[in-house]
Every structure is written in C-alpha cells, then in structure tokens.
Amino acid sequence: MAHHAAASALARSHFGTSVFVRAVVEVSNYCRENCHYCGMRRDNRTLTRYRARLDSLAELILHHRPSWVTDINFQAGEDPVATRELVLPLVRLLRQETQLGLSVCLGTLSRDLTQELRDAGASLYIIKFETADPDQYRRLEAPGTQTERESHIRWLAAEGWKVSSGFIAGLPGDTVHQALRNLRYATSLPLSGCSVSPFIPGEATPLAQTSAAELDLTLNCMAALRRLRPDWVIPAVSALNLTGADDGYRRGLRTGANLCTVNLTPEPVRGDYLLYKRDRFIMNAERILAAIDAEGLQPSQQSLAQFLAADPASVAA
C-alpha cells in the first residue's frame, strides 16, 4: 500500500537499512496498577507473581546476551521494590562493565527513585500514554489520570531523559477519530519515539471477551506516525504477530519501524509476564535476526542510546 511504502521510504532515508536492536528483560510482574487491558493488573489473582534474581540476570546479560544487542530495556509492572532491588543495581553494574544503552519501562515512580535510575546510567524512559482520550483513560483504570501521565512525561523530558511513549490501537469502541486523536496527541509530546501496539484482549482482564485490533489499523497508525515524525524511533512490537497474521511483525518493519526488541527474560518466568496471553509470541534471537534479514535490513552497530544522545532532532519541543 502506498501509505506504508511512503512511511518505509522515510525510515530508510532517515536511518538507512539499519534497525536498532534492544533486548528486553522483564524483571518483575508485580504491579500496583489495575489497567483493564493488561493481564498483570493487581486484581488478577490467578497470576503467579515473580521477581527475577539479581545474580542470574547479571550473569545472563553480562555473559549470554547476543553480540549484536546494543541496548537493554528493563521492564516491569509498576513495582518500586523490583526497581530498587533489581533494576538499580543492574543499571549500575552494566554502566560500569559495558557500553550498552540502558532503557527502563517501569511506570510512574517517585521522582527520587527516577532520578537514581538516571544517575546510575539509564538514559531512555519508556512510558506509554495508552490513549489520548482522558475519559477512556479513566474508564480503563490506566495509571493515575491522563493529566498526571502527561505531566510525568514532560517532567522526564525536562530532567534530561530521552522519552519514548506509545498508544494502543483499536481499543474496544474506538473509531478512526480516536486513532487520529492518538496520533495528534503523540506528536504534541516531547518524545524521541513512540510505539503503536494493537489491542489484544488479555486473559483474566475485564476486556477478555472483546476483539483484537485489526492489524491494518495498527500498521496504518505506525505509517502515519512515521510520516508525521520521520526522525522518531518507532518499534515493531511483537504483538503485531498476535493479530491473526503470521507476518505482522515483518509487515511492521515494512511500515516504517526502525527498532526490534529481542526478549531476554529467563524462560521459566516468561509465561508469567502476562501482558496479553500466556501463549506469548516471543521474539527470540533467531526470529529477530530472520525478520531483519528477510526485510533486507541489518542490526545497527550504534546503540539507540548513543544515537539519541547525538541527535539534536530527537529532543522535541
């Protein structure tokens, strides 16, 4: 489709044939929030909760990560205990021992704890706005209020973090008007990147019986985002393969995405990181490399963190 091809051409002219490859480590599935679209919400009593072990994560990342991974993202439910006991020491360790770019996706933490993460060496904060509609945000019990979320995003950017956000395409009841509103809202924020995740009805959530988003809607939003912001980092999310199409992920790479995420979460706990379903589509190293190669792309040798630190255009107004 011409819209997708135009988005892809913009990504290639801005970033060449390189895509950033970041590893995600899901350190904890405890969460104090209760978002209706997420299986890790606090009211889900059927989920076995875990916090990973510091020593095994350190061993895994230091000695067993793929050589072509340039960045690590630590992700968890909103769990300040895991942030303090696991993420902070790991960020400190990796800052000392490696050149890896360090990202975090840990929810709305206190300003002090957030500052400690920055001082320890993390530079990119991923915090999704989920929906631009404040009423929908409230109905979905997303964290705090939408106004607070936006204030936090703006505060992070003002404190020197590079910030990446994201929204969910095709939430139940959404119209095209809502998609446009999400796109407009995203571009009003001080971001370096933004994801578009297709809505997937999560197991053990209030939305379990609703329908997943159409893949085409998600790809159209990704393409529009790329055309609005040629310089942004836009990931291909693994959930693109949960919309019923086996080639969803690769189609994301064909629609202006320039970031892939390889999952490094230890296997025994991966199934409990229940964003949507236990039967997750895990983007492991083989799948990532195969998708990148099949689309005529290659892993970037420059880390995402280095790129963002060097690119003045990434500091949006």
Among 71, 74, 129, 143, binds ligand SF4 (CB under 6 A): 143
Q: Which stretch binds ligand SF4 (CB under 6 A): 29-37, 47-55, 207-215, 292-300?
A: 29-37
Residue from 7, 25, 31, 291 touching ligand SF4 (CB under 6 A): that is 31
Contact 27, 103 (CB under 8 A): no
Token pair, residue 255, equals 């629609």
Give the residue with the Cβ less far from ligand SF4, 33 or 214: 33
Q: Does 33 bind ligand SF4 (CB under 6 A)?
A: yes
Rounded Cα distance between 277 and 46, Å, is 13
SS3 string, 73-92, reads EEEECCCHHHHHHHHHHHHH
Least distance from ligand SF4 to the Cβ atom of residue 152, Å:
13
Query: Is residue 40 close enough to count as binding ligand SF4 by CB under 6 A?
Result: yes
- Asked whether position 26 contacts ligand SF4 by CB under 6 A, the answer is no
Q: Is position 150 an interface residue for ligand SF4 (rule: CB under 6 A)? A: no
Site membership for ligand SF4, residue 41 (CB under 6 A): yes
Determine, following the binding rule CB under 6 A, whether residue 35 of this chain makes contact with ligand SF4.
yes
Q: Sign of dihedral through CA atoms 33, 235, 316, 223?
A: negative
Q: How far is the CB of 90 from ligand SF4 (least distance, A)?
A: 19
Q: Which stretch binds ligand SF4 (CB under 6 A): 2-10, 38-46, 211-219, 253-261?
A: 38-46
Closest CA to 74 of 64, 61, 63: 61
Residue whose CB is less far from ligand SF4, 105 or 316: 105
Helix (H) or strand (E) holding 164: strand 162-169
- Which residue, among 162, 145, 143, 177, has the nearest Cα to 103 in the 3D structure? 162
Is there a contact between 288 and 69 (Cβ–Cβ < 8 Å)? no
How far apart CA 58 and CA 94 sit, in angstroms, is 8
| Closer by beta carbon to ligand SF4, 40 or else 297 | 40
Nearer to ligand SF4, 4 or 41 (CB): 41
Q: Which residues pair with 166 in a beta bridge?
A: 195
Rounded Cα–Cα distance for residues 296 and 276 (Å): 30
Among 4, 20, 73, 77, binds ligand SF4 (CB under 6 A): 77
**Residues 11, 28, 47, 78: which binds ligand SF4 (CB under 6 A)?**
78
Q: Could you tell me how many residues of this chain bind ligand SF4 (CB under 6 A)?
A: 10
Taking the C-alpha atoms of residue 203 and residue 186, their distance in angstroms, rounded to an integer, is: 28
Report the amino acid identity of residue 262. Answer: V
Contact positions toward ligand SF4, by CB under 6 A? Answer: 31, 33, 35, 38, 40-41, 77-78, 107, 143
